[in-house]
């Protein structure tokens, strides 16, 4: 299993539509065996991705 964690900053807060787009993209990747946890906080994201080697 491969795990990757990263933090990123945003210039502006994403709109509800942009957050929905992120969720839909995550669902597509989950079907390919890539799972993730995405946390949003004021000013950025923290994401952990997991998948096969």
Residues in the chain: 53
Confidence at residue 35, expressed as pLDDT on a 0 to 100 scale: 84
Is residue 3 pLDDT above 90, yes or no?
Answer: yes
Confidence at residue 45, expressed as pLDDT on a 0 to 100 scale: 92
CB atoms within 10 A of CB 24: 9
Confidence at residue 21, expressed as pLDDT on a 0 to 100 scale: 93
Distance CA 49, CA 42 (A): 21
CATH number for the domain spanning 19: value is 3.30.70.100
**Number of domains making up the chain:** 1
Q: Which two tokens stand for residue 24?
A: 């839909």
Q: Domain range for residue 17?
A: 2-51
Confidence at residue 5, expressed as pLDDT on a 0 to 100 scale: 96
Confidence at residue 30, expressed as pLDDT on a 0 to 100 scale: 75
- pLDDT, tens only, 6-43: 999 999 988 999 989 988 888 887 777 888 888 998 88
């Amino acid at each position: 299993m491969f795990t990757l964690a990263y933090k990123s900053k945003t210039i502006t807060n994403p709109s509800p539509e942009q957050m929905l787009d992120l969720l839909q993209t995550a669902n597509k990747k989950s079907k390919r065996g890539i799972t993730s946890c995405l946390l949003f906080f004021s000013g950025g994201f923290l994401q952990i991705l997991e998948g096969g080697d």
